[in-house]
Amino acid sequence: MHSQAPERNLGLDLVRVTEAAALASARWLGRGDRNAGDKAAVDAMRLSFNAVDIDGVVVIGEGEKDEAPMLFNGEAIGTGRGPRMDVAVDPVEGTRLLAYGRPNAISVVAMAPRGTLYNPGPAFYMQKLAVPREARAVVDLDAPTADNLKNIARALGKDVDDLVVFVLEKPRHEGLIREIREAGARIQLHTDGDVAGALMAVLPDTTVDVMMGTGGTPEGVLAAAAIKVVGGEMLGRLDPQSERERRALLDAGYDLQRVLTVDDLVASEDVFFVATGITGGDFLGGVHFTGTGAVTHSLVMRGKTGTVRKIEAHHSFDRLMQISSIDYD
């Protein structure tokens, strides 16, 4: 008989999954082949899930948008002997970052009880606004950019020109970038990696205060799992980038005007989020090969307890040794 709620920290099982994906894909750092690095991560992740005691189903897979290798939606994962869980995966978030040796490529898994993760269906893109706990009550997706930045700065005890905004460097953001600059805030432009961007916006000890702009809808659900644990907020609205996507959403009954909150995207407090750095970056170190093994850096988050754990692990041929684990309340 299946239990309905996990009682132990399954995040510590999931971190072995993201570590395996990161270790496999890191061999493709800077080699210019997006699909090869992604496939290595997918294969390692799928194999590692075979040892996790969950009755899991992939509700957000990866690869469908860009025809990369995938852990497909509806795929059963885990041993089948544990709690019934929805699983969202991105074996390599930032395949271009990995292929060209750029920072902030990560391997990511989020998990929550069955039926509690938002199903993006045919939605590939979502407008997002992610902020830390202190600013969660002062943002409005329909407010002018300058007003949101002014309110965020006040909530964080800063001036607007102290703020750093994470924005994906895409043609669709030309207007947004202009508005941020006119408001006086600073900008970090990134080619890819909006899960990492959302994490940087809500976690302490990063250089980012807020994330704005349109990115992937599946990545939005993944990020929402982490944001829920730390008490931040992400407002989102489906933002189709083609007439075909817009029509598919309307035909499937999605409301394109609805503003989604973190609680809409993740409807359970019993959520887990795990990420392991692949290329290294602002908040997670990358895979470092030592000659006799490798070192990985991971983030493990559990919603029920609000625990955020950073783990540095040494890997060798026949064993894994965890040498550093730090909890943040």
Binding-site positions for Mn(2+): 38, 62, 90, 93, 219
**Radius of gyration, alpha carbons of the chain:** 19
SS3 210: strand
Residue 175's Cβ-count burial label (10 Å; 0-12, 13-18, 19+) is exposed
10 Å Cβ neighbour count for 133?
A: 14
Pick the closest to residue 117 from 251, 217, 2 (CA basis): 217
Contacts of 302 (CB under 8 A, 6+ apart): 9, 11, 229, 271, 272
Residue ranges for the known binding site are 38, 62, 90, 93-95, 125, 170-172, 192-194, 216, 219
Tell me, what amino acid is at 258?
A: R
The identity of residue 206, as a single letter, is: T
* Binding site residue list for substrate: 93-95, 125, 170-172, 192-194, 216
